[in-house]
Structure 1
Amino acid sequence: MDLKEIQNLIKFVSNSGVAEVKLETGEIKITIRTTLEGNSPDITYVQQAPMQQAIAAPSAPAAAPAAPAAPAASSDDNSKYITIKSPMIGTFYRKPSPDKPVFVEVGSSIGKGDVLCVVEAMKLFNEIEAEVSGKIVKILVDDMSPVEFDQPLFLVDPS
């Protein structure tokens, strides 16, 4: 079972409304538990039997589409912007915690190293920092949404 199949299984379980699924195939055991709302996976365990090599992640996984198909003129306009992408699979959060304000809004000026969002993966909250200075033009992901590796998160105008 490869990484893409595991990701598809997690999406399927989270959309099905099932609370927990256990799957055992050969040396791999997977348990997926979802929240009652069925919005996103709560805990995912991937166990592999000892004496086996770990499943290698694909060297260049396909990026998930950021948005539905847009007119060609729109993509030409976006070519002058820098896209900040997710460095990992996880859940995208715009705030450090529910009672705090969002990190950035559309129109916010940012500097290199500023925290833009948090991506939670396996109960670890990873701050995503700006790679460039500029102005946030568009936020491409909704708060508390699952994101894929290399999925575009923000468009930044570097000028």
Structure 2
Amino acid sequence: MLKVQEIHEIIKLIDESNIDEFCYEAGGTKFSMKKNKGEVVAAQPAQVQQPAPVQQPAAPQQQAQTEGNEQAKTTTESKETSAQQGGSDYDQEITSPMVGTFYNSPSPDQDAYVKVGDQVKEDSVVCIVEAMKLFNEIEAEVSGEIVEILVKDGELVEYGQPLFRVKSK
């Protein structure tokens, strides 16, 4: 059975993560949480306030200018996304096998397990993911060079979330 302190920690972790719903069942006890999505309600009043069509001649120009800016942003964003995908020369990703907190070193006063440019083997420990006060060493499961670290130390990670990008040899 979960202790109150453990439940508080789970609530805090879920609140800080992107998880919307969480269920835990053990020993005949079931514990589940669901986030209240308040951001939808906050977004509706902004849509309700439409500018009055007082300035008819200026509105089409502003609309065309806004649409042009949005198209430019979309083009720029898609170029940046493709540059990030194509710019990083990798062919494998190391993903998180669980939900938890990512740590890049065994303790705060020690060096990181891996840095960009480091060579890893399949059994190399690359990080720790803490889940429910258990520190789980995560192995690379691939061989190659670390070309990108996608998560910051102390950040919450989801199951299957990419942590590292690796270029195989």
Q: What TM-score comes out, normalization by structure 1 length? A: 0.58
The question of whether the paired residues in 2 share the 8 Å contact of 1:119 and 1:126 is answered with yes
Structure 2 alignment gaps of length 5 or more: 18-22, 33-76
Which structure has the larger Rg? 2
The question of whether the paired residues in 2 share the 8 Å contact of 1:31 and 1:46 is answered with no
Residue 48 of structure 1: CA displacement? 6.9
Judged with a 3 Å threshold, the aligned counterparts in structure 2 of structure 1 residues 33 and 133 are, in CA distance, closer, same or farther, namely closer
The question of whether the paired residues in 1 share the 8 Å contact of 2:88 and 2:148 is answered with no
1:89 and 2:99 matched: yes
The question of whether the paired residues in 1 share the 8 Å contact of 2:93 and 2:166 is answered with yes
The question of whether the paired residues in 2 share the 8 Å contact of 1:90 and 1:121 is answered with yes
Mapping of residues 32-111 of structure 1, within 5 Å: 32-33=8-9, 50=28, 70-78=80-88, 80-111=90-121
- Kindly provide the amino acid, as one letter, of the partner of residue 76 in structure 1: G
1:97-118, Cα deviation, whole Å (9 max, x unpaired): 1121110000001111000000
Root-mean-square deviation over aligned CA pairs: 3.6
Residue 120 of structure 1: CA displacement? 0.3
1:31 and 2:7 matched: yes
Q: How many residues are matched?
A: 112
- Kindly provide the amino acid, as one letter, of the partner of residue 149 in structure 1: Y
Q: Tell me, what secondary structure is at the counterpart of 2:8?
A: strand
Judged with a 3 Å threshold, the aligned counterparts in structure 2 of structure 1 residues 99 and 83 are, in CA distance, closer, same or farther, namely same
Structure 1 alignment gaps of length 5 or more: 1-20, 23-29, 56-67
The structure with more strand, counted as a fraction of residues: 1
Q: Tell me, what secondary structure is at the counterpart of 1:71?
A: helix
Residue 148 of structure 1: CA displacement? 0.4
Q: Using the aligned pairs only, state the percent identity.
A: 43
Q: Matched residues in 1 for 2:146 and 2:107: separation?
A: 21
Q: Matched residues in 1 for 2:134 and 2:24: separation?
A: 16
Residue 117 of structure 1: aligned partner:
127
1:149 and 2:159 matched: yes
